[in-house]
Amino acid sequence: MARKDTLVEGYAEALLSVAEAEGALEDVEDELFRFARTIEGESRLRDALSDPALPAERKRAMLADLLGERASPHTVSLLGFLVEQNRGRDLIRIAERLVDMAAERRAHVLAEVRAAVALDAAQRKRLAAALTKATGRRIELKVLVDPSVVGGVVARVGDQVFDGTIRNRFQEVREQMGSV
């Protein structure tokens, strides 16, 4: 394992242990995952959080302002620790690894789902069952609301992508109509 991967692994394991000890793993895992996905598309924020010239106090204040009441104090504190340790550049990978580790401990595999609207408990249960059947593995869903998904859902389980969006269905119909 490369040094950088070892660091990512170590930080993910440490955060996982702290979140478990505080009884907040489920919230921390979900909030870190969502935050990582948010900053993935926000290069200015990602750059600010990883800028070694920016004082850690300023980075912590940015996190507190950005997350406010939307994240638990545990998550905000752990993110603050990461930026204080100058791990802002690795934050996305650390969060992803933490989520994977938590799922592995529960003997599940992570399914990243993007949907146009939030899914209720019954929809989540049906989707998890369908993905479990399709992959043969117990699934743990992480659902992100993504307005670019016009209707339906896109699920990624490891390297497999299940595209159940309306856009994809229309494309399939067009292809079928073109071959008639």
State whether 134 and 51 are in the same domain.
no
State whether 94 and 157 are in the same domain.
no
d(CA 97, CA 94): 5
State whether 9 and 97 are in the same domain.
yes
pLDDT confidence of residue 4 = 60
State whether 39 and 70 are in the same domain.
yes
Kindly report, residue by residue over 123-174, the tens digit of the pLDDT: 999 999 999 999 888 898 999 999 888 888 999 998 889 988 888 777 877 7
State whether 31 and 18 are in the same domain.
yes
State whether 128 and 88 are in the same domain.
no
Q: What is the CATH number of the domain that holds 14?
A: 1.10.520.20
- Of 60, 84, 103, which residue constitutes the final position of a domain? 103
State whether 38 and 8 are in the same domain.
yes
State whether 170 and 95 are in the same domain.
no
Using 50, 70 and 90 to split pLDDT, how confident is the model at 79? very high
Kindly report, residue by residue over 162-177, the tens digit of the pLDDT: 988 888 777 877 787 7
d(CA 127, CA 19): 27
Domain count, the chain: 2
State whether 92 and 18 are in the same domain.
yes
- Residue-number span of the structural domain to which 23 is assigned: 3-103
| The residue type at 50 | S
